[in-house]
Amino acid sequence: MMKLLSAQGAFVTDEPNTVSQALQQAGIPHGKWDPALFSGIDYDTLLSNPNLQEAVLKTVAQPLATLKSSFGYLTEDIIGLTPQTPNLGGILKQFRAEHHHTDDEVRVILHGEGIFGIIPSAGKGEPFEVSLTQCDWIVIPENTRHYFYLTEENTVIALRVFKDNPQWEAIYEPLPA
């Protein structure tokens, strides 16, 4: 379930309509897939087992196809961060710094929890954070300033989708005014 947090990470609300309104105002597409699709998956081995990843992608084929066709995305993969991830601290430090990309950043949370900080462009509301857990998906449009961090469990597994040639470099300098 998505939770709306303040720009400082304090809980604001998990009332779905209120969370949705904040994201809509900021121009952030989002939604929730059917929880039934996520049951019975061995998340402990998912990141190290390509066959299991294939099986998961088949299980979610229908909503995945809808998401891809809605936004023109072509490819997908499954990634994750866990306490076992090499250099987790260094990776998280990079993600935590405010940045943007020249491609959309799309995530469907399969397991765990991740928090995005959003800095809306002018006229689209104040900065806020949103916490995502299993079934939640979000599209952070290209050139939208944002950052990302984990809860103390340090665990998130997510589906990413991409356009043909993703430009995944994080750009830390602010957008020109």
Cα 154 from Cα 92, distance rounded (Å): 9
- The distance of closest approach from Cβ of residue 141 to Fe ion in the complex, given in angstroms and rounded to an integer, is 11
- Judged by CB under 5 A, which stretch of 34-42, 75-83, 101-109, 113-121 contacts Fe ion? 101-109
- The distance of closest approach from Cβ of residue 44 to Fe ion in the complex, given in angstroms and rounded to an integer, is 26
105 in contact with Fe ion (CB under 5 A): yes
Question: Which of 105/111 has CB closer to Fe ion?
Answer: 105
- Judged by CB under 5 A, which stretch of 17-25, 28-36, 69-77, 103-111 contacts Fe ion? 103-111
Mutual angle of helices 61-71 and 50-59, in 10-degree steps: 80
Residue listed under structure tokens 């904040």: 22
103 in contact with Fe ion (CB under 5 A): no
Question: Which of 21/143 has CB closer to Fe ion?
Answer: 143
- The distance of closest approach from Cβ of residue 140 to Fe ion in the complex, given in angstroms and rounded to an integer, is 7
104 in contact with Fe ion (CB under 5 A): no
Q: What x-and-dash track marks residues 54-93 binding Fe ion by CB under 5 A? A: ----------------------------------------
Interface with Fe ion by CB under 5 A: which residues? 105
